Amino acid sequence: MTHLSDDELAQFALGDVPDGAKWIEHVASCTQCGAALAEYSRVITIGHSLEGAELLEPPAGVWEGIHAELGLPDGLREVPGNDRARPRTDSDTTRRPASESLHLAPRRRKPHRKAATALIAAVALVVGLVAGAIGTSLLSRTEDPRLVAEAVLEPFPGWSASGSARLEEEPSGDQRIVVDLEAPREGLREVWLVDPETSGLISLGLLSGSSGSFSLPADIDLTRYSVVDVSQEPDDGDPTHSGDSIVRGSLSES
């Protein structure tokens, strides 16, 4: 027996199994058809779980697309909910032909194979889009870094400047120093961590503009190097501190 078609799988999932024994035997032994049937059944289960849920009214274009996909005749191209736009009057009942009343009476009938397949495909598409949107939202969501400590950067004599620094920790555990500086712009500025006990210095890098973010090596002991310093540096290739500090401040836990 060849694999079941999409139409046959849709029928099977809806409980319509005209060639029951043969289909059941095939699905039980065929991994491909068994997996496909499970997906169809899952979509139907999801659709049933939405019964009674409060749904938003879709644009008319959505129903037009569904009608076109199902190939419905003009007589059945009705947008659900349109009859709620006005109250029903007695004339609606008296003028309705008996044949129409009979047509509208509730009855159970076997779904058309093509319509059933298209309906399942439509439900699967909606479920897929919703799941994709949720997944994309979750994947793109990033947690804000945690503020660990911060410092007010006070100006040194001769400098009309101010600034701030903050120690942030990413969800991954990586840490960084973020510096904001307000000072007359001239020359190179370098950001340092200072050990106030020994005057030891660690360069974090050059500050480009008025703000900068500097990743910290994992082995830096911030209990020792607890002071943030921004210096004015000459363009002479000397990597050591120039001795001309613009602002400085001690980090304190937030």
The neighbour count for residue 48, using CB atoms within 10 Å, is 8
End-of-domain residue from the set 99, 121, 140: 140
178 burial level (CB within 10 Å; 0-12, 13-18, 19+)? middle
Q: Is residue 1 part of a domain?
A: no
Together in a domain, 167 and 204 = yes
End-of-domain residue from the set 86, 109, 140: 140
**For the whole model, what pTM was predicted?**
0.46
Together in a domain, 121 and 224 = no
Residue 17: the pLDDT is 65
Whether 165 shows a pLDDT value over 80: the answer reads: yes
Q: 76-104 pLDDT, tens per residue?
A: 666 665 554 444 444 444 444 444 433 43
**Across-strand partners of 64?**
none
End-of-domain residue from the set 140, 169, 185: 140
Residue from 248, 215, 212, 216 nearest 230 by CA: 248
Together in a domain, 172 and 67 = no
Whether 145 shows a pLDDT value over 80: the answer reads: yes
Q: For residue 206, give both structure tokens.
A: 């050059």
Together in a domain, 196 and 91 = no
Maximum pairwise Cα distance, the chain: 100
Residue from 220, 245, 210, 208 nearest 167 by CA: 220
Is the pLDDT higher at 33 or at 23?
Answer: 33
Together in a domain, 98 and 161 = no
Together in a domain, 200 and 115 = no
Together in a domain, 69 and 21 = yes
Q: Which residues contact 83 (CB under 8 A, 6 or more apart)?
A: none
Together in a domain, 178 and 131 = no
CATH number for the domain harbouring residue 195: 2.60.40
Q: 186-207 pLDDT, tens per residue?
A: 889 999 999 999 999 999 999 9
Residue 87: the pLDDT is 47
Per the listing, tokens 């947690």 go with 143
Together in a domain, 79 and 157 = no
Together in a domain, 34 and 130 = yes
Q: How many domains does the structure of the chain reveal?
A: 2
56 burial level (CB within 10 Å; 0-12, 13-18, 19+)? exposed
- What is the residue range of 116's domain? 6-140
Q: 121-130 pLDDT, tens per residue?
A: 555 555 555 4
Cα–Cα distance, 209 to 207 (Å, whole number): 6
- Is residue 214 a contact partner of residue 204, using CB atoms and an 8 Å limit? yes
